A and B are shown apart, each in its own frame.
Chain A
Amino acid sequence: MRYLFAALLFASPAFAEGEPDAAHLFEIAGLEILHPWTNATQDNHAFVYMEIHNEGADPVEIIGARLLDGPQGYLVGFRMQGGKMGIASLPPIPVAPGKHLDLTPRDLAIRLDGLVAPLVAGQSLKAVLLTSAGELEIDVAIESMSATRHSHSGHSH
Chain B
Amino acid sequence: MTSVWAALPVFMQNGLIAVGLLGPLLLVGALLLRGFRPWPLVRALLWRFRWANLMFVLLIAVSIGMGIGLIAQERGLRVGTAKAAEKFDLVVTAPGSELTMMLAAVYLQPAAVPLLDGFAYDRIARHDHVAIAAPIAFGDSHEGAPVVGTIADFVTHLAGDPVEGRLFQRSGEAVIGSAIDLKIGDRFTPAHGHGARAEEDAHDGFEIEVVGRMPPTGSPWDRAILIPVETVWEVHGLANGHRVEEGDRIGPPFTPELFPGTPAIIVRATEFWANYALRSEFTEAGETMAFFPGTVLNDLYRVMGDVRQAMSVMSTVNQILVATAVLLGLFILSRLFQRQLAMLRALGAPRRFILSVVWGYGVSLLLAGTALGLTFGFAAAALLSRLVTQRTDILVTASITWSEVTLALAFLSATSFLSLIPALVVLTRPIVENLQK
Interface residues of A (CB under 8 A from B): 42-44, 75, 77-85, 88, 90-91, 93-96, 99-101, 104, 106-108, 148
Q: A78-B298, A85-B298 are in contact. List 7 more A-B contacts (CB 8 A).
A: A75-B273, A80-B83, A80-B294, A82-B83, A88-B272, A100-B280, A101-B280
Interface residues of B (CB under 8 A from A): 2-3, 78-80, 82-83, 85-86, 272-273, 275-277, 280-281, 283, 292, 294-295, 297-298, 302
> Are A96 and B280 interface neighbours, CB within 8 A?
yes
Query: How far is A106 from B295 in the complex, measured between Cα atoms in Å?
Result: 7
Instruction: Specify which chain A residues have a CB less than 8 angstroms from the CB of B277 in the assembled complex.
Output: 93-96, 101
> Known: A42-B2, A106-B298. Contact between A83 and B276, CB under 8 A?
no
Query: How far is A156 from B400 in the complex, measured between Cα atoms in Å?
Result: 47
> Are B281 and A96 interface neighbours, CB within 8 A?
yes
**Chain B residue with the shortest CB-CB distance to A148:** B302
Q: Name the one of B2, B283, B297 contacting A80, with C-beta atoms under 8 angstroms.
A: B297
Q: Name the one of B80, B280, B294 contacting A95, with C-beta atoms under 8 angstroms.
A: B280
Instruction: Specify which chain B residues have a CB less than 8 angstroms from the CB of A104 in the assembled complex.
Output: 295
Chain B nearest CB, measured from A41 CB (Å): 11
Query: How far is A7 from B276 in the complex, measured between Cα atoms in Å?
Result: 45
> Are A80 and B86 interface neighbours, CB within 8 A?
yes
> Known: A84-B82, A93-B273, A99-B283. Contact between A107 and B295, CB under 8 A?
yes
> Are B80 and A83 interface neighbours, CB within 8 A?
yes
Instruction: Specify which chain B residues have a CB less than 8 angstroms from the CB of A106 in the assembled complex.
Output: 295, 298
Instruction: Give the dominant DSSP class at B's interface.
Output: helix
Query: How far is A139 from B171 in the complex, measured between Cα atoms in Å?
Result: 58
Query: How far is A108 from B295 in the complex, measured between Cα atoms in Å?
Result: 10
**Chain B residue with the shortest CB-CB distance to A75:** B273
Q: Which 7 A-B pairs have the closest CB atoms?
A: A83-B79, A83-B82, A80-B294, A90-B273, A83-B83, A101-B280, A106-B298
**Chain B residue with the shortest CB-CB distance to A108:** B276
Instruction: Specify which chain A residues have a CB less than 8 angstroms from the CB of B280 in the assembled complex.
Output: 93, 95-96, 99-101
Query: How far is A104 from B292 in the complex, measured between Cα atoms in Å?
Result: 12
Query: How far is A86 from B80 in the complex, measured between Cα atoms in Å?
Result: 16
> Are B2 and A93 interface neighbours, CB within 8 A?
no
> Are B3 and A44 interface neighbours, CB within 8 A?
yes
Instruction: Specify which chain A residues have a CB less than 8 angstroms from the CB of B281 in the assembled complex.
Output: 96, 99
> Are A107 and B292 interface neighbours, CB within 8 A?
yes
Chain B nearest CB, measured from A48 CB (Å): 15
Question: Would you give 21 A-B contacts (Cβ < 8 Å), ordered by A?
Answer: A77-B272, A77-B273, A78-B295, A79-B272, A79-B294, A80-B85, A81-B86, A82-B79, A83-B80, A83-B82, A83-B83, A84-B82, A85-B294, A90-B276, A95-B277, A95-B280, A99-B281, A100-B283, A101-B276, A104-B295, A106-B298
Instruction: Specify which chain B residues have a CB less than 8 angstroms from the CB of A99 in the assembled complex.
Output: 280-281, 283
Instruction: Specify which chain A residues have a CB less than 8 angstroms from the CB of B80 in the assembled complex.
Output: 83
Chain B nearest CB, measured from A53 CB (Å): 10
Instruction: Specify which chain B residues have a CB less than 8 angstroms from the CB of A79 in the assembled complex.
Output: 272, 294
**Chain B residue with the shortest CB-CB distance to A82:** B83
